[in-house]
Structures are given as structure tokens and as C-alpha cells.
Chains A and B, each alone.
Chain A
């Protein structure tokens, strides 16, 4: 059993693209300090699809926004930890250096295709902005590239649609535009924060297939943040489960879904009705609510909802241990027993 901190040295390969170490983001509000992200560490390898799952308020979005350093400050601030992207610690960079990375080497696809595009600018303008800024393209070259991008994400009549405004596109089409913008500078990493939550299921399938296909073609690594376990099972190579601002389990998709170790992961899986179930099985529930992140439990975040509470986890926060190759879990005895 090795602890998580040594993970980066033991399993570190040349192709580690993003290394997040002990990242801690707090929000300083009037009611107190909200520990939204509390010391998370994970790696993303080149060309890999990583799924981050958890319920609302578990810090999955804030974690991703911290990587991009787009946490609204005040009230939020990254108080500790490092984000190493291609050997560079993003936390130490200043705003103008960061701007050269955002949209260029790391791109982001946001949840709401309705609000994440600027309604008063044409789609063409929004698409060419990144190309102009990061790649210095001009004039016809710019328009040609924008047209090529729209073609790539499957928008019919791309040349004509460049002059259209976001409201003239449907939800799915808008999300395609977002993906085109994200892809425009051939980023190494795309962070998709709930990319399909606002979309209908058949459109969701279209968008996710498209993202996966494009990521494969260009060797782009993909972080998919979602609460939908099915999406993670279908698309992710590796899965990270978050709870109350911490990572509680991490492993390959097969491991997490077939051999979940943490009580929360097991509870989460059992609480989702399965489409392929033949008999009617009563859904299992996790009693209680996630803790208030202003005053989280001192030890294991899951302790208040844990059925067993046989160990000392309510006093000291559990460390992350590797129980099987590539399968990490918060070292809390009672959460790990079945």
C-alpha cells in the first residue's frame, strides 16, 4: 500500500499531461469559509478520457475551474496545491500568462449552451476570436478555418451559419459551436463541465460521440465532469469519485463499476435505476444529506452518513491509498467494508 503522494513518483510516466496535487480552493463568504475543494490530487495522461463524478456541491466543477484558474475572486481563491500542466505550475502563473493557456492549450466546454455563448456576437466572431488571439490568423484564412471547424463538428451550411447569432441555433447546435471553439487551437486538454446535462438524451448521445471521436482523432485528453454515471461508464477510461470536496475513490472504469470499494461509490451505483434490469428491485438510498462545506466533518467526509462508523475516521481525515494497481481509495476502514 502506497500513499497517494508517492503515486506521482511511482507511476509517473512521460505522458502525464496534467498533474493536480493537493489542490485546495476555498470560498471566503460572510457565513464562513466554504471548503469547496479540499486537497484533491490526480493525474491526466495524454489522450486519456477521465470522468469526474459526484453529486451537486461536491466540488467537481470548482475543481475544474481551479485548473483553469477561473474561480471568481473574491470570494474564491486557490489556497494551496499545484496544477502542473506540461511541466508548468499554473497556480504560479499571472493572469496574462494564464490567458495564453486558456482556450489555447487547455480548453473548456461549459454546461449551459444557452448562456456560455455571447448573445450579441455572431457565432463566427466568437469562433474566430480564439484563432486570432492565439494563432494570429487574419482575414480569409480566419474565416476558412472557422468554416472548417464548424464542418468538423457537423453543422450544416457552415459558411452561412458563421453570420448567425447563438439564438438562431438549437441547444445541441450551440453545444457543437462550443466544442468547435474548444477545438479551434488544437488543445492538449479539454475540460467538459457537464457538457450534456442541459440537452436531451438523443442530442446528448450525438454530442458525446462527437467529442469522443474528435478527442481520439486529435489525441486530446478529455476530462468529463458529470453526475450521470452512465455517461462515465460509456466514455471514460478512468473514473474519479468526489464527495464533499475530496476524492474518495479513483480507478479504471471497470474497477469502479464492477468492484467499487467505497461505501459512497457503492451507494451511488445502487441508487441509480438500471435500464437493463429485468426485475423490479427497490432502489437503495444513502440516508442523509452531503455535509455543509463550511463546517465539514473533521475526519472522513462520509462519516455522518456512514452506516458502520466502526473506525476512527470521524477524527482524522483518511489518506488516499492504492489498494490495487491503479485503484485508489480514501483509507477509511468502515467505508471500505461491505
Chain B
């Protein structure tokens, strides 16, 4: 077991292929009281000291339960929130230090696909206008003809017909709307796309269509994804590596298969066992770890190891005093260094 307190030591080795590097990212939201004289009475530590990297062309999955900060992470990486602290490097450029104009230009490279296919499309804009807006904003087309061609091309790339450009969002099904959202993200030819729960709102057979589309687009355009979802089966299917989040912290990062076949952290094991496999024979013999209690409030997170209130073996170690750091237990497999969480 090699202890590396900072992941940057590892990162510097293969810096050339790392596209996005996040270091000690913190995103705290103030909680205020009062109407005119607003006072900050507390902080919601949505994301606390997060470090990870995404390699060029890979998919990093981010899983966790609701409220664990996975969406906040995605948005803070794209500077849609201004992070409280920490560094976000994209292709060696420090995003947190860019001003508004520079960041707007940067958005050509980094895009996002939103969760809700109903709420994320303007109902008063036609599909063509929605997809074409980024082209106009970034002045990527010279004339109307080029604009029309580009929109038609984008529609066919995501599996829609060019004649659908004049339709409005309400005329599309959920899966088709998600395709429009994907086309909009791809309009500017980004290299990095944050997929924030892109399939959670869709039915299983439609979900498979969109997952396949995302994989095809990755192959075709060499995209890098940060794939955020709560459904570990989907994340495991699409991701090369998976980071498991709990209450604003990453508790484990590993290659997808390694995480499933050799989970180390107590929370990862519980999460995996909670997900039923569609096979009654396997289900009969599977070990189930049922966690007690709920996720604590990020307004008042436990000191030390965040998982400690739900941990069954917490008496054994001192994790309630010191915050565990990620260590590399085997190549590419990082776990929060908490003795009780790591014991079986």
C-alpha cells in the first residue's frame, strides 16, 4: 500500500494526457437569515475538498445519492458556480482565474447536458433555434445558409430528422428532447462535456438509445465525459473510471470493473449491494448490506470521516477525529483512508 496524500504527485507523471484536473475543489453555499439585514448563519458544504482528474477521451463516472454534491461538482468545474476554493485546470488553463469574457470563449470547449429534458429547453424556441443559439453566440457560422446546414447536420448527428428543426420542444418525446440537449452541447465542437444525469428521466428502452448515442458521439468526436448519475449500473456501463461521492467527498475512485469486483470502502460496498441485478437466481444468493439511517445534512456534516454515523465498525478507528485522505491501494484505485470503512 503506497500512501500518497496528494494526488497531484500522480497527476504530474502523465500530465500530457490529462484534460481536466480538479484540486481541492470546495463549494460552500451560505445560509442566510433575515430579510433586509441578511446574516450568514451557516454554510452548506456541498462539495468539500475534492480532487480528481479526467484523461483525454475517457469517461469519468461520478455516482452518489441525491444531495452528495455530484451536480454541484459538475457545475463548479464548468464555473457555472464560482467555487469557494480550489483549482480547476482545463488543458493546463486555470478556469477559476479567467474573467467573464475569457470564460465565455472557453465555453466553446466545455459544455453540459442537463438532467431534465423538459426544463432545460426553452419552450418558446424551436428545436433549430435552441441548437443554433450557441453557433450564433460564438459566431461559428458566417451566413444563414451555413447556419441552416449546420443545424441540420447536428440534428442528424443525434438521430433526429432535419425537418424537425421547426418544431417546438413540446412536440418531442423525452428521449428526443434529450437528443436536442445533446445536439446543443455539441454545436460548438467541445472537447469536454459534463453529462448531468442525462438519462435519469427516461424510460429504460429510451435510456439505452441515449446511452448508445453518447458512446457513439464519444467515438466519433473524441469527446471526454464527466458522467454524473445516481444509477450505478448505467455509470458502470459507460465509464472507464468511477468516482463514488458521499456528502461532498470522494470516498473511492477506481476503474469501473475494479470498483464492482473489488470495492473497498464501506459505502461503495453498501451502494453496490443495494442495486438489484435483473436476475432472480443471482439475487437469491447476493449479500445485502443495508445501511442504517439517512445521509447527514451537509449543513452540519460529521467531523472526520463523513460516513462514520452510518458505519457499523466506527468504534475501531479514530476517523471521527481526523478527515481521511485518498490513498492508492492498487494502481488507479484510490480510497479514503479510514480504517473502519476499509475493513470488511
Chain B CB within 8 A of A152 CB: no
B234 / chain A contacts, CB cutoff of 8 Å? 273
Binds B, one of A84-92, A135-143, A284-292: A284-292
User: 1/0 per position for B234-248, CB-CB distance to A under 8 A?
Assistant: 101110000000000
B208 touches A202 (CB 8 A): no
B208 touches A284 (CB 8 A): yes
Chain B CB within 8 A of A129 CB: no
Q: Compute how far the CA of A108 lies from the CA of B205 in the bound complex, rounded to whole angstroms.
A: 28
Binds A, one of B17-25, B40-48, B178-186, B266-274: B266-274
Q: Compute how far the CA of A63 lies from the CA of B270 in the bound complex, rounded to whole angstroms.
A: 34
User: 1/0 per position for B166-209, CB-CB distance to A under 8 A?
Assistant: 00000001010000000000000000000000000001111111
Q: Compute how far the CA of A280 lies from the CA of B218 in the bound complex, rounded to whole angstroms.
A: 15
Of all chain B residues, which has the CB nearest A253?
B280
User: 1/0 per position for A274-287, CB-CB distance to B under 8 A?
Assistant: 11111010111110
Once A200-B65, A285-B212 are accepted as A-B contacts, the answer to whether A205 and B237 lie under 8 Å apart by CB is: no
Chain B CB within 8 A of A45 CB: no
B270 / chain A contacts, CB cutoff of 8 Å? 202
Give the distance to chain B from A317, nearest Cβ to Cβ, in Å: 22
Among A56, A229, A275, A285, the most chain B Cβ lie within 10 Å of the Cβ of: A275
Once A55-B205, A172-B294 are accepted as A-B contacts, the answer to whether A278 and B257 lie under 8 Å apart by CB is: yes
Chain A CB within 8 A of B288 CB: yes
Give the distance to chain A from B331, nearest Cβ to Cβ, in Å: 19
Chain A CB within 8 A of B283 CB: yes
A233 touches B278 (CB 8 A): yes
B215 / chain A contacts, CB cutoff of 8 Å? 282
Chain A CB within 8 A of B228 CB: no
Q: Compute how far the CA of A274 lies from the CA of B204 in the bound complex, rounded to whole angstroms.
A: 12
Q: Looking at the complex, which one of B206, B207, B212, B283 makes contact with A282 (CB distance below 8 Å)?
A: B212
Of all chain A residues, which has the CB nearest B276?
A230
Interface size class of A (residues with CB under 8 A): 35 or more
B260 touches A233 (CB 8 A): no
Q: Compute how far the CA of A185 lies from the CA of B138 in the bound complex, rounded to whole angstroms.
A: 64
A257 touches B278 (CB 8 A): yes
B271 touches A201 (CB 8 A): yes
Chain A CB within 8 A of B291 CB: yes
Chain A CB within 8 A of B125 CB: no
B294 touches A205 (CB 8 A): no
A271 touches B277 (CB 8 A): no
A200 touches B66 (CB 8 A): yes
A253 / chain B contacts, CB cutoff of 8 Å? 280
B237 touches A273 (CB 8 A): yes
For residues 41 through 97 of chain A, which have their beta carbon under 8 Å from a beta carbon of chain B? 55-56
Q: Compute how far the CA of A135 lies from the CA of B32 in the bound complex, rounded to whole angstroms.
A: 48
Q: Compute how far the CA of A173 lies from the CA of B272 in the bound complex, rounded to whole angstroms.
A: 22
A275 touches B290 (CB 8 A): no
User: 1/0 per position for A221-258, CB-CB distance to B under 8 A?
Assistant: 00000011111111000000000000000000110011
Once A203-B294, A283-B211 are accepted as A-B contacts, the answer to whether A276 and B277 lie under 8 Å apart by CB is: yes
Among A201, A233, A276, the most chain B Cβ lie within 10 Å of the Cβ of: A201
Q: Compute how far the CA of A316 lies from the CA of B275 in the bound complex, rounded to whole angstroms.
A: 40
B283 / chain A contacts, CB cutoff of 8 Å? 233-234
A56 / chain B contacts, CB cutoff of 8 Å? 203
Chain A CB within 8 A of B100 CB: no
A272 touches B233 (CB 8 A): yes
Q: Looking at the complex, which one of A229, A231, A275, A276 makes contact with B204 (CB distance below 8 Å)?
A: A229
Q: Looking at the complex, which one of A173, A205, A233, A285 makes contact with B205 (CB distance below 8 Å)?
A: A285
Once A273-B211, A286-B205 are accepted as A-B contacts, the answer to whether A201 and B294 lie under 8 Å apart by CB is: no
A234 touches B276 (CB 8 A): yes
Give the distance to chain B from A99, nearest Cβ to Cβ, in Å: 35
Q: Which chain A residues have a beta carbon within 8 Å of chain B's beta carbons?
A: 55-56, 170, 172-173, 200-206, 209, 227-234, 253-254, 257-258, 267-269, 271-278, 280, 282-286, 289
| 9 pairs, CB–CB < 8 Å, chain A vs chain B | A55-B203, A201-B232, A202-B65, A204-B274, A234-B280, A257-B278, A268-B205, A278-B257, A283-B208
